[in-house]
Amino acid sequence: MNRVRLKLRSLSLLFVTGGAAPPTLARCDSGLHETFFQALRTMATNNNNINNPKKAKEQLRRVKTKENRNKRGDVRGPSTVYVQVVGAGSRDSDASLYVFSEYNRYLFNCGEGTQRLMQEHKLKAAHLDNIFLTRLSWENVGGLSGMILTLKDIGVPECVLSGPPQLDNYLNAIKSFSGPLEDIKLSVRPYTEETYSDETMTVYQVPLFAQSRTHSRSGSSSPSQSPASPARDDLHANICRENPSEGQTAARNTSLVVAFICKLHPKKGNFLVAEAKELGLPVGTAAIGPLIAALKDGKNITYDGKEIRPEQVCTPTDPGAVFIVVECPSEEFVEAVFTNRQLRRYQTGGTEDPAALVVHMTPESVLKTDQYKEWMERFPSTTEHLILNEQVSTVHNVRSHKIQAQLNMIHPGMFPELKSYKTKEPQAALHVPNVRAECLLKFQLRPVMEWQRDAIPSCNTEEFVKEASEVPNFLEEVDKCKKICFTDAAELSDRGKRYPEVLFLGTGSALPMKIRNVSGTLVNISPSQSVLLDCGEGTFGQLCRHYGDDVDDALSKISTVFISHLHADHHTGLLKLLYQRERALTTLGRTFSPIYLIAPVQIMSWLNQYHNYCEEMLSHIKLIPNKFLCDGSETPTQRTKSFIQALLKTNDLEKFQTCIVRHCKNAFACSFTHQSGWKLAFSGDTMPCDAFVHIGKNATLLIHEATLEDGLEEEAVEKRHSTTSQAIGIGVKMSADFIMLNHFSQRYAKIPLFSEDFSDKVGISFDHMRIRFEDFSAIPNLIPALKTLFAAEIGEMEERRERRELRQPRACSSETNSEQKTTRALEVGQGAKRDQEEAAAHSVEAKRLKLS
Ligand SMILES: *[C@@H]1O[C@H](CO)[C@@H](O)[C@H](O)[C@H]1NC(C)=O
Ligand SMILES: *[C@@H]1O[C@H](CO)[C@@H](O)[C@H](O)[C@H]1NC(C)=O
Ligand SMILES: *[C@@H]1O[C@H](CO)[C@@H](O)[C@H](O)[C@H]1NC(C)=O
Ligand SMILES: *[C@@H]1O[C@H](CO)[C@@H](O)[C@H](O)[C@H]1NC(C)=O
Ligand SMILES: [Zn+2]
């Protein structure tokens, strides 16, 4: 990998410093640029196996498994299988399950945040063979686009999605922003292909169709299930719908849920050596082989005139347990579950062995119904029931709680403790024993059937605080910081200006990681109005953890969302946010109104496809294409004009501007000015950009991306992002009062490297950091304490930088010999190996950065 990376660097350097004019390269939309990177990508792909041992190993595993299967001719059955909860189904962590066997790994459902959870808890996405989806709703597929991009980047050759046939349309829809997906073979195995079998188990897909919608309205179905009223559809029928043909909406089909019956392959018993010896069998000689084989096959043998039965020398064959995964999202589906014949077979008196485990992704409102209860009671008492829904309140993201608890020690106001949303719905009284899901709870099916709780993460704030207290000098620095900040605060408290308030929800780039999520920044303009700047995957989850039970209130205030560009890390959290906002308005008894969506008009290709084939969504938005807010843009339609006027009025804004920035095609920055005089400028993703300086002139607050550290200018050009000092430079040119940096590469998980250009006007953002304009003077005072808390990480990053600087001049000095030199460079110093590992670990991120 390293080799490739260096090659890339030297090539791109050649390009920048060589004959080709840099501006050509700098233009993102130039065909030359595209071909150039296409070529690089191909090169990187071709070299991958040689250079990425991890990937090679993974492919080997796949090949071996296949070979084994072919050699055996029969299926031996796995010896270890367990079902594990990933997301327990809380409002911020949608229900998902991971199933492990030594041959295969599966995922059931993939809502937003699933990938990040898997990453935090080391459930390797690289090993996924199959993803099963119970239904085409955002709760189940919200994290799927990100997951697919990651699978592609780590080199998983193939991924099969089982479930609703509309998954095909979903895959098509994500191509509108994911770029080409040729590297990975994606296919859909619709429920009509009833059975599927591999080394581990046979899976039967069971379609469940909703009964008529009429009686569901009277029932208390889950709030997220509000059927779209035709009136609202009409209202927005003519927004940017490229092809408003009537036939299209018919392709959307929300009346289907797919349940999965999974039957493990039988596993033959083990041969008991001691017992065999006692009976006089020729243990330890060549003769024993065929005898064991026969016995394991369940045949009687005669040895030395003595008949020996298998049960004398073998443990019994395990016939293979069955587990069932069923989602029953609303009362409309209860009848279908209740009467389904296939499911019936695994209940008491059925034709098959009863299910060992039933996983219910079923809200409390459905569990409460008599019919569903009765259905559960039809399983024998030996059947275990695992329930995933909002009743669960376990901490999923320990790492983010930890860092927040520690930052909270430095400044409780800017780093408020995280909260959780607790449902107010009481638990249904069930008459069967059941277990409520917790993050990482396991049910082992083999070798021994049992619940396993040892992986469930614990989250102990006191311990996190204690750990930080033991960092040398940290408490002293915190004291110093508090003294300064409190004096300042006392001075300012009279003014007590709470608004505007900026809440950073996601400050990382590319893929969501343990510490930093992808882009999302909430600007609370006034007590009743908020604007969201970008909305990466997990933005809603972040809101939920910040506001806890008040999340509905916070959602109801969001009237406007600005999407800077269509990289996945900036917009794939939008649908979840919109659906949850609708739910919030319903819960609060407010009238529904769509949001103003200020976004590249190309977003409609994705939204239209999702709307047409998956779920109703167009009624949630009033689109204002970014380009109409640029200086000297073409005149918008009357309709768009009226949206712009209304947007300004709603938010008490004087002006809302955008400009094209230097990143990918159709990437925009924005700035807006409040009637009371303050101005906020937001860069989105970009290299240093003069047009942005222009629209952000004299901003009170500039939020600028700083993806990479100083010294990585070439990489910044290649990926069309900014370095720390470049971002600060833009703020200086703009004469911004204050600059907050964000969108850090995930290689700076905890804290980015500081640059010499830091001044008392610059701050770095963290997920869940909340600042008010009165905090500007205090923010730089946090830095010594932050540097102390993260001293170890900063030390490591600085070492890495030094090694890189040692290496770089050689690797780049000449292009022809670069491979040789790279090899030599790699031998320099003992740090080289660590660097290689680093490089492997970050190779996925590095690839994705180009798309971030
Ligand atoms: C990032 O988002 C995921 C998914 O919503 C969440 O589980 C995680 O806690 C977030 N990270 C941080 C640092 O809050
Ligand atoms: C959804 O699909 C089922 C089965 O294919 C079909 O019976 C039903 O009519 C469809 N509903 C809609 C609204 O298309
Ligand atoms: C094995 O032997 C036992 C007792 O001798 C007999 O009942 C059984 O049917 C035999 N099984 C087979 C598979 O021949
Ligand atoms: C920015 O502020 C300076 C100094 O106050 C002023 O001269 C200039 O006109 C302002 N520019 C804009 C675009 O507001
Ligand atoms: Zn981007």
pLDDT computed for residue 338 by the predictor: 96
Q: Which domains can be identified in the chain, with CATH numbers?
A: 2-51+815-849 (no CATH), 62-216+252-265+319-391+427-452 (3.60.15.10), 273-313 (no CATH), 471-792 (3.60.15.10)
Atom 5 (ligand 1) nearest CA: 538
Ligand having the closest approach to the CA of 93:
1
Residue 188, pLDDT above cutoff 50: yes
- Reported as a pLDDT band with limits 50, 70 and 90, residue 212 is low
Which segments of 675-750 are extended strands (E)?
A: 679-682, 701-705, 738-742
User: What is the rounded CA–CA span in Å between residue 679 and residue 654?
Assistant: 10
Report the chain's C-alpha Rg in angstroms: 29
Q: What phi and psi, each to the nearest 5 degrees, are found at residue 397?
A: -115, 75
Share of the chain above pLDDT 90, in %: 52
- The pLDDT score that the predictor gives to residue 45 is 32
Q: Does 515 or 184 have the greater pLDDT score?
A: 184
Smallest-distance ligand from the CA of 657: 4
Q: Which tokens is 311 given?
A: 């049960």
Ligand 3, residue 298: give the atom nearest the CA.
Answer: 13
Q: From the CB of 309, is ligand 3 less than 6 Å away?
A: yes
pLDDT at 63 over 80: no
Higher confidence at residue 614 or residue 8? 614
In short, whether 569's Cβ falls inside 6 Å of ligand 1 is no
Which residue minimizes the CA distance to atom 9 of ligand 3?
300
The band of 543, judged by pLDDT with boundaries at 50, 70 and 90, is very high
Note the pLDDT tens digit of each residue in 147-175: 898 888 888 888 899 999 889 888 888 88
* Residue pointed to by tokens 């009025």: 649
For residue range 785-802, list pLDDT tens digits in order: 999 999 988 988 888 888
Coil, strand or helix: which one is 633? Answer: coil
**What is the pTM assigned to this prediction?**
0.77
Ligand in closest contact with the CA of 662: 5
Helices (H), 452-572: 461-469, 474-492, 539-547, 551-557, 568-571
Determine phi and psi for 667, rounding to 5 degrees: -105, 135
pLDDT at 105 over 80: yes
Neighbours of 202 (CB within 10 A): 16
Q: Confidence band (pLDDT; 50, 70, 90) for 384?
A: very high
- Rounded (5°) CA angle 659-660-664: 150
CA–CA gap between residue 255 and residue 208 (Å, rounded): 8
Distance from Cα 309 to the centre of ligand 3, integer Å = 7
CA of 740 to the centre of ligand 1 (A): 21
Which atom of ligand 4 lies nearest, measured to the CA of 697? 13
- What is the Å distance from ligand 4's center to 728 Cα? 19
| 139 HSE (CA, 13 A, CB side) | 27
The C-alpha atoms of residue 33 and residue 561 are separated, in whole angstroms, by 31
Q: Can you count the helices (H) and strands (E) in the chain?
A: 33, 30
Task: Give the mean pLDDT of the chain.
Answer: 81
Write down the pLDDT at residue 88: 93
Q: Residue 852: which pLDDT band, with cuts at 50, 70 and 90?
A: low
Cβ 603 vs Cβ 244: under 8 Å: no
- Cβ contact 324:346 at 8 Å: yes
Residue located nearest, by CA, to atom 4 of ligand 4: 698
Structural contact between residues 784 and 777, judged by C-beta atoms closer than 8 angstroms: no
pLDDT at 568: 84
Q: For ligand 1, what atom is nearest to the CA of residue 113?
A: 4
pLDDT for res 760: 87
Ligand nearest to the CA of 312: 3
CB 565 within 8 A of CB 668: yes
Most informative mutation of 403, 404, 517 for ligand 1 (most atoms within 8 A of CB): 517
Which has the higher per-residue pLDDT, 466 or 53? 466
DSSP characters for 780-837? GGGHHHHHHHTHHHHHHHHHHHHHHHHHHHHHHH-STTHHHHHHHHHHSSTHHHHHHH
As a whole number of angstroms, the distance between CA 488 and CA 775 comes to 9
For residue 123, the one-letter residue type is L
Q: Cβ–Cβ contacts within 10 Å for residue 480, how many?
A: 14
pLDDT of residue 62: 61
Q: How confident is the model at residue 129 (pLDDT cuts 50, 70, 90)?
A: confident
Average the pLDDT over each of 627-636, 696-705, 839-848 and give the range with the smallest value: 839-848
Q: What is the pLDDT of residue 22?
A: 29
Tokens of 285: 């000689």
Highest mean pLDDT among 199-213, 369-383, 471-485, 807-821: 369-383
**Could you tell me the distance, in angstroms and rounded to a whole number, from the CA of residue 278 to the centre of ligand 1?**
59
- The pLDDT score that the predictor gives to residue 399 is 85
**Which residues have CB under 6 Å of ligand 4?**
697-698
Q: How many CB atoms lie within 10 A of CB 59?
A: 16
Amino acid identity for residue 502 in this structure? V
**407 pLDDT exceeds 90?**
yes
Does ligand 1 lie within 6 Å of residue 265's CB atom?
Answer: no
Residue 165 CA, closest ligand 2 atom number: 5
**Predicted local confidence at residue 145, as pLDDT:** 87
Tell me the C-alpha to C-alpha distance, in Å, between residue 660 and each of 686, 703, 726, 808. 9, 16, 18, 33
297 touches ligand 3 (CB under 6 Å): no
Nearest-angstrom CA–CA distance, 287 and 11 = 64
Q: Are strands 322-327 and 357-361 parallel, antiparallel or unpaired?
A: parallel
More confident residue, 40 or 565: 565
- 300 close to ligand 3 (CB < 6 Angstrom): yes
Among 192-201, 232-241, 543-552, 698-707, which stretch is predicted with the lowest mean pLDDT? 232-241
322 pLDDT more than 70: yes
Contacts of 305 (CB under 8 A, 6+ apart): none
Nearest ligand, CA 654: 4
- Residue nearest ligand 2's atom 12 by CA: 253
Structure confidence at residue 514 as a pLDDT band (50, 70, 90): low
Considering only CA atoms, which residue is closest to atom 6 of ligand 4?
698
762 and 690 in contact (C-beta within 8 Å)?
Answer: no
**236-286 confidence digits (pLDDT tens):** 333 333 333 434 444 677 789 999 999 999 988 888 889 998 888 988 888
CA–centroid distance, 722 to ligand 1, in Å, is 24
pLDDT band at residue 13 using 50, 70 and 90 as cut-offs: very low
pLDDT digits (tens, 9 = 90+) for 659-674: 999 999 999 999 999 9
Q: Which of 396, 542, 765, 766 to mutate to test the pocket of ligand 1 (most atoms within 8 A of CB)?
A: 542
